[in-house]
Amino acid sequence: MYTVKEVAKLMDLTEHTIRYYTDKGLVPSVKRDKNNNRLFDEESLNWLTGIKYLKATGMSIEAIKEYVELCLKGDSTVPERYEIILKQKEIAETQLEEAEKRVKYMKQKIKHYSDIVNNKIPDDTNPGQWDKNFISKIS
């Protein structure tokens, strides 16, 4: 059995996060000792690993809770769990597209600043120096 502190170190999570996940009912196999301290076995570590990875995909705590509850109901819920994972994949793909747009924008900015730094164009990046003509050009 592991303590919260030991699990935090093992899983590279904060103690606060582990307590939060257990308080939300995401680790159904967590035990308590006579002093009401959380104790984790291998099954608990498995739940925490699953939660950690689902959370890393951007899944909400509420969706993870639903997923955990479905897991506890058994194999009959596989189709529902599958749908949750498909939905999360779509969300992740949308986030990826948005991230790619941000990277593209930053690359354009880097090129622009590079041209300024290398004296190819004048500095037009300071909003405090923009005039009405420039503002109408970028709008």
Q: What CATH number is associated with residue 45?
A: 1.10.1660.10
- pLDDT tens string 69-119: 999 999 999 999 999 999 999 998 999 999 999 999 999 999 989 998 998
Q: What is the mean pLDDT of residues 42-60?
A: 93
* Boundary of a domain, candidates 38, 57, 73: 73
**What is the reported pLDDT for 121?**
87
Residues 69 and 23 in one domain: yes
Q: How far apart are CA 10 and CA 42, in angstroms?
A: 12
Residues 40 and 104 in one domain: no
Q: Which of 42, 21, 39 is nearest to 31 (CA)?
A: 39
Q: Cα 136 vs. chain centroid, distance in angstroms?
A: 38
Q: How far apart are CA 119 and CA 128, in angstroms?
A: 20
Q: Is the pLDDT of residue 133 over 70?
A: no
pLDDT band of 34, cuts 50, 70, 90: very high
Residues 61 and 5 in one domain: yes
Q: What is the mean pLDDT of residues 21-28?
A: 94
Q: What is the mean pLDDT of residues 25-47?
A: 93
* Boundary of a domain, candidates 21, 38, 73: 73
Q: Is the pLDDT of residue 17 over 90?
A: yes
Number of domains into which the chain is organized: 2
**What is the reported pLDDT for 127?**
81
Residues 5 and 59 in one domain: yes
- Kindly state the percentage of the chain with pLDDT values over 70: 94
**Residue-averaged pLDDT of the chain:** 91
Residues 22 and 67 in one domain: yes
One-letter amino acid of 130: W
Residues 59 and 28 in one domain: yes
Domain of 54 in residue numbering reads as: 1-73
